[in-house]
A and B are shown apart, each in its own frame.
Chain A
Amino acid sequence: MSRLHAALQDFDALDALAARPTALSRLDPRVKILATLGFILTVVSFDRYTVAALLPLALFPLLMAALGDMTLRSIGRTVLLASPFAVMVGMFNPWLDQRPLLSLLGYPITGGWVSFTSILIRFGLTVAAGLVLVASTGLPQICAGLERLGVPQVFTTQLLLLHRYALVLAHEASRMSLAHELRANGKAMPLAVYGPLLGHLLLRALQRAQRIHQAMLSRGFDGQLRHRPSLRWQRADTLFLALCGMGFALARQVDLAHLMGQLVLGWLR
Chain B
Amino acid sequence: MHMADALLSPAVGATFWLASGATLAWSARQVRKDEREYLVPLMGVLGAFVFAAMMINFTIPGTGSSGHLGGGLLLSILLGPSAAFMVMASVLTVQALFFADGGILALGANLFNLGLCTCFVAYPLVYRPLLARAGAAPSTRRMSLMAVLAAVIGLQLGALGVVAQTQLSGISSLPLSTFLLLMQPMHLAIGLVEGLATAALIVFVRQARPDLLALPSAAYQTASARRVFPGRLMATLGAVALVTAGSLSWFASSQPDGLEWSIARTTRQAGLESPQSGLHAKLSEVQKSLSLLADYKFDLAAKPATPALAPALGQATPEAAWPAVDASTSLAGVIGGAATLALVLALGFVLRRKGSSAV
Complex A-B: 8 CB contacts under 8 Å: A40-B105, A44-B6, A93-B172, A115-B171, A123-B4, A126-B5, A191-B61, A209-B46
The closest CB in chain B to the CB of A127 belongs to B100
We find that the number of chain A residues with CB closer than 8 angstroms to chain B is 92
Return chain A residues, CB-CB under 8 Å to B56: 173, 176-177, 189, 194, 197-198
The 6 closest A-B pairs by CB, nearest first: A161-B44, A195-B200, A199-B204, A152-B28, A86-B4, A82-B100
Return chain B residues, CB-CB under 8 Å to A168: 48
> In the complex, are the beta carbons of A210 and B38 less than 8 A apart?
yes
> In the complex, are the beta carbons of B55 and A174 less than 8 A apart?
yes
Judge if B138 is at the interface, Cβ distance under 8 Å: no
> In the complex, are the beta carbons of B53 and A198 less than 8 A apart?
yes
Q: Which of A37, A111, A127, A133 has the most CB of B within 10 A?
A: A127
8 Å CB contacts to A: which residues of B57-74?
57-61, 66, 69
- Known A-B contacts A111-B262, A155-B90; the reply to A89 vs B25 at CB < 8 A is no
Return chain A residues, CB-CB under 8 Å to B44: 157-162, 164-165, 209, 212
Alpha-carbon gap, A158 to B87, bound state (A): 8
Alpha-carbon gap, A127 to B6, bound state (A): 9
Judge if A26 is at the interface, Cβ distance under 8 Å: no
Judge if B102 is at the interface, Cβ distance under 8 Å: yes
8 Å CB contacts to A: which residues of B1-42?
1-10, 13, 24-25, 28-29, 31-32, 37-38, 40-42
> In the complex, are the beta carbons of B45 and A193 less than 8 A apart?
no
Q: Which of A89, A163, A176, A223 has the most CB of B within 10 A?
A: A89
Judge if A14 is at the interface, Cβ distance under 8 Å: yes
> In the complex, are the beta carbons of A133 and B99 less than 8 A apart?
no
> In the complex, are the beta carbons of A191 and B196 less than 8 A apart?
yes
> In the complex, are the beta carbons of A162 and B94 less than 8 A apart?
yes
The 8 Å CB contact of A134, one of B7, B38, B98, is B98
Return chain A residues, CB-CB under 8 Å to B42: 206, 209, 213
8 Å CB contacts to B: which residues of A128-173?
129-131, 133-134, 139, 142, 152-155, 157-166, 168-170, 172-173
> In the complex, are the beta carbons of A172 and B52 less than 8 A apart?
yes
> In the complex, are the beta carbons of A216 and B289 less than 8 A apart?
no
> In the complex, are the beta carbons of B105 and A188 less than 8 A apart?
no
> In the complex, are the beta carbons of B52 and A170 less than 8 A apart?
yes
Q: Interface-forming stretch among A60-68, A94-102, A232-240?
A: A94-102
Judge if B197 is at the interface, Cβ distance under 8 Å: yes
The closest CB in chain A to the CB of B104 belongs to A130
> In the complex, are the beta carbons of A202 and B51 less than 8 A apart?
no
> In the complex, are the beta carbons of A126 and B6 less than 8 A apart?
yes
Q: Min CB distance, B190 to chain A, in Å?
A: 13
What residues make up the interface of A, taking CB atoms closer than 8 Å to B? 4, 7, 10-11, 14, 36-37, 40-41, 43-45, 48, 78-79, 81-83, 85-86, 89-90, 92-93, 95-99, 111-112, 115, 118-120, 122-123, 126-127, 129-131, 133-134, 139, 142, 152-155, 157-166, 168-170, 172-174, 176-177, 188-199, 201-203, 205-206, 208-210, 212-213, 216, 223
Judge if B89 is at the interface, Cβ distance under 8 Å: yes
Return chain B residues, CB-CB under 8 Å to A119: 6-7, 171-172
What total count of A-B pairs have CB within 8 Å?
288
Return chain A residues, CB-CB under 8 Å to B86: 154-155, 158
> In the complex, are the beta carbons of B55 and A177 less than 8 A apart?
yes
Return chain A residues, CB-CB under 8 Å to B93: 159
> In the complex, are the beta carbons of A159 and B5 less than 8 A apart?
no
> In the complex, are the beta carbons of A96 and B98 less than 8 A apart?
no
> In the complex, are the beta carbons of A48 and B170 less than 8 A apart?
yes
The closest CB in chain B to the CB of A192 belongs to B200
Return chain B residues, CB-CB under 8 Å to A134: 97-98
Alpha-carbon gap, A201 to B50, bound state (A): 10
- Known A-B contacts A154-B28, A173-B53, A208-B45; the reply to A85 vs B2 at CB < 8 A is yes
> Dominant SS at the B interface?
helix
Q: Min CB distance, B65 to chain A, in Å?
A: 9
What residues make up the interface of B, taking CB atoms closer than 8 Å to A? 1-10, 13, 24-25, 28-29, 31-32, 37-38, 40-49, 51-53, 55-61, 66, 69, 86-87, 89-91, 93-94, 96-105, 166, 170-175, 178-179, 196-197, 200-201, 203-205, 208-209, 212, 258-259, 262, 265-266, 269, 282, 285-286, 289
Return chain B residues, CB-CB under 8 Å to A111: 262
> Dominant SS at the A interface?
helix
Q: Min CB distance, A258 to chain B, in Å?
A: 21
> In the complex, are the beta carbons of B48 and A205 less than 8 A apart?
yes
Alpha-carbon gap, A10 to B89, bound state (A): 21
Q: Min CB distance, B57 to chain A, in Å?
A: 7
Q: Min CB distance, B351 to chain A, in Å?
A: 23
Return chain B residues, CB-CB under 8 Å to A201: 49, 52-53
Alpha-carbon gap, A196 to B46, bound state (A): 17
> In the complex, are the beta carbons of A155 and B24 less than 8 A apart?
yes
The closest CB in chain B to the CB of A86 belongs to B4
> In the complex, are the beta carbons of B7 and A89 less than 8 A apart?
yes
> In the complex, are the beta carbons of A173 and B47 less than 8 A apart?
no
> In the complex, are the beta carbons of A123 and B173 less than 8 A apart?
no
The closest CB in chain B to the CB of A93 belongs to B173
- Known A-B contacts A126-B6, A170-B52; the reply to A189 vs B69 at CB < 8 A is no
Q: Min CB distance, A7 to chain B, in Å?
A: 7
Return chain A residues, CB-CB under 8 Å to B262: 97, 99, 111
The 8 Å CB contact of A213, one of B38, B173, B212, is B38
> In the complex, are the beta carbons of A44 and B13 less than 8 A apart?
yes
- Known A-B contacts A119-B7, A173-B52, A189-B56; the reply to A37 vs B41 at CB < 8 A is no
